[in-house]
Every structure is written in C-alpha cells, then in structure tokens.
Amino acid sequence: MAKKFFIGANWKMNTVPLGWDAADSPYISTGNPNIVVFPSSLDLCRCIEKKLSVGAQCGRPETAGAFTGDIAMQELKKRGCTHVLCGHSERRQHHHETDADIALQVQGALKNGLIPIFCIGENADQREMGETEEVLAEQLLRCASVKGMIIAYEPVWAIGTGKTPTPKEVSETHAFIRSLLKDKKTQILYGGSVTGNNAAGFFAEEEIDGALVGGASLKPEEFRKIVACAKKM
C-alpha cells in the first residue's frame, strides 16, 4: 500500500501566497499527500472558507480567559481548523515556550479535536556537541506516550538557512525518535529548508512521512514541485 504523505505549508507571519485560492492552487489537498496550510491567524477563516485544510500556527489549551493576544484551541476547532503547530522553534525562541508548556498544548489540541504537529529539533551548538539525541529525548519526554499526534523533526540550524541534514541522517534521527514513541505508527515529518530540488530525496526514505515547509511554501510553483515529489512516491 502506498504511504500516505503529509505536507504542511507554514506561512508564518506572511500573507497568503499568490494563487492560494485559484482553481489549480497547489495548496488544495487531494488526499495523498495530505496538504495542510498554516496561515497567520488573520487568514485562517478565509482559507477555511475556500476549502483548504487549515491548521493554526499556535493555540492555547485554555478555553477562555486573560491571555491577551492568544487564541483558544477550542475556537480554532469551532472555526474549522484541523491541526495546530505545537512548539515550533520560533515559538520556543520568541515566546519562550518550554517543553512543559508545549506538552500542555499537545494534550489540549487532542482534547479539542485538533491534531497537534509537535515540533522538536536541536540547535547548531547541540548538534556540534553530539547532543542531538539527548535534546530530542528531553523534548519528547512528556509526550512520548501520546497517541494521535504528528511529529515534525526540525533541526533549528536547518530552518530558513538553506542547510539540511542528508536524507539518510534524517532517516536515522526519525528512527531514533520512533524508538522513543509508544505509538510506532506516528507520522514523523522532516522540516528545514525543504525545496522542490531536495524533497524527493527526503520522501524516498522509509522513515520520513512528509515535510513541514516554510520558505518554499510561500512560492506556489516551488511548493507544487514538492507536492509532485510526494505524489510520485
């Protein structure tokens, strides 16, 4: 049976890309790969109205309250979101989200009927010191027995830099991550400078179930190439 790939388009704090709502939009999910876009909060509703599969870039597990600037996962679900990113490295860096906060988000997402995309990854120093596995194990600790999440392995040094680990290295890291998970069928995505040129190499690896794409997802034709690579597998 063909593997079902997942491709996430993380648009970060950018507006919707050109042609996002065109009849031949590369962001429309046709089944395999399952394509989910992660627009800014302001664009969530219009993407849902145009029938894209939509996830939020962040959300709070609390249902309401004094959390200025935040959005409740319950509301995201009500509006039609299906997924939510939890612990993206930019949230860890700029919003000081901790592993404990992120574990609450993962559990909160599931409780509210959203699929959490739980992001983990080492930074450049940690990789250089040979600490990658230790860092990943620590980040995973609180969620290792969770069922129903997707993991995105995103080495911080590869995000937006044009640098990537080799597909083989990613595959080995995914196998390590999987060894720590209770649910061995959990989808594990790779994220970090995925492009139309390197996607096929990643998707060819048995251990890699898809990609979380940042920069290249803002370029419709580049993103179309990434989707085509998954379709060919």
Q: Which is nearer to ligand PEP, 74 or 92 (CB)?
A: 92
Q: Smallest distance from the beta carbon of 49 to ligand PEP, in angstroms?
A: 25
| Contact assessment for residue 51 and residue 45, using Cβ atoms and an 8 Å cutoff | no
Residue nearest to ligand PEP (CB): 214
Q: Does 131 participate in catalysis according to the annotation?
A: no
Q: Does 172 participate in catalysis according to the annotation?
A: no
Residue 85 makes CB contacts below 8 A (sequence gap 6+) with 8, 10, 38, 55, 56, 57, 58, 91, 116, 117, 119, 152
Q: Smallest distance from the beta carbon of 19 to ligand PEP, in angstroms?
A: 19
Q: Smallest distance from the beta carbon of 156 to ligand PEP, in angstroms?
A: 10
Q: Measured in whole angstroms, how far is the alpha carbon of residue 126 from the centre of its chain? A: 21
CA 131, 87, 199, 13 dihedral sign is negative
Q: Smallest distance from the beta carbon of 118 to ligand PEP, in angstroms?
A: 13
Beta bridge partners of 153: 120, 190
CB-based burial label for 145 (10 Å; 0-12, 13-18, 19+): exposed
- The secondary structure element, H or E, covering residue 139 is helix 132-140
| Contact assessment for residue 157 and residue 189, using Cβ atoms and an 8 Å cutoff | no
Q: Which is nearer to ligand PEP, 151 or 194 (CB)?
A: 194
Q: Which is nearer to ligand PEP, 191 or 220 (CB)?
A: 191
Select which of 90, 97, 122, 154 is catalytic.
Answer: 154
Q: Which is nearer to ligand PEP, 148 or 160 (CB)?
A: 160
Positions touching ligand PEP (CB under 6 A) are 10, 154, 159-160, 191-194, 212-216
- Active centre residues (catalytic): 88, 154
